[in-house]
């Protein structure tokens, strides 16, 4: 199976990529293999929440999730950047796409200080965002998207 081209590595294409819709961007990222990319901004910073499952997969372990999403844009976010998003969740909520509420937003570099194999995730709970920890050894499914910076 041919690997999708790495368009983000080409600096001359960045202005064009920023203007693409989510659906057009998915095509650039390899169609079915990158099942979902949700772009959003918060306080002037650009983010993307990305899928990590290949076509036909129901879930993968946390190490596979990280390996698939760490190659671009510095990978998943840590405590500093994730903490800013948590603090801004009400203030900038209008800038967050409604579609994010259907997913668990995973911060793969925000680890528990007590158990380093636990990572932070946000989820929509009725009328507000909440957060929790989950083990990387567990299976992560299509509800989960890894949050990372978009350049």
**pTM of the entire structure?**
0.76
What percentage of the chain has pLDDT greater than the value 70? Answer: 77
What is residue 96's three-state secondary structure?
coil
pLDDT at 39 over 80: yes
pLDDT at 150 over 50: yes
Q: What is the mean pLDDT of residues 64-82?
A: 90
pLDDT in tens, 123-133: 998 888 999 99
Tell me which H or E stretch contains 40: strand 37-42
pLDDT for res 24: 52
Name the band, by pLDDT with cuts 50, 70 and 90, for residue 6.
Answer: very low
pLDDT for res 92: 73
The average confidence (pLDDT) of the chain is: 80
Q: What is the mean pLDDT of residues 13-42?
A: 57
Angle at 60 between CA 127 and CA 139, to 5 degrees: 55
To which residue do tokens 């499952």 refer? 53
pLDDT for res 42: 87
Q: How many residues does the chain have?
A: 151
């Amino acid at each position: 199976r041919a690997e999708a081209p790495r368009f983000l590595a080409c600096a001359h294409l960045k202005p064009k990529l920023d203007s693409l819709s989510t659906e057009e961007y998915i095509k650039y990222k390899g169609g079915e293999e990158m099942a979902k990319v949700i772009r959003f901004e918060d306080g002037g910073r650009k983010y993307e929440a990305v899928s990590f499952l290949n076509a036909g997969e129901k879930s993968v372990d946390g190490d596979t999730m990280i390996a698939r999403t760490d190659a671009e844009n510095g990978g998943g976010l840590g405590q500093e950047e994730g903490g800013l998003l948590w603090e801004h969740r009400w203030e900038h909520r209008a800038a967050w796409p409604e579609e994010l509420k259907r997913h668990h937003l995973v911060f793969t570099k925000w680890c528990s200080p007590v158990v380093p194999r636990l990572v932070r995730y946000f989820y929509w709970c009725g009328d507000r965002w909440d957060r929790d920890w989950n083990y990387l050894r567990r299976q992560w499914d299509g509800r989960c998207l890894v949050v990372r910076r978009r350049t």
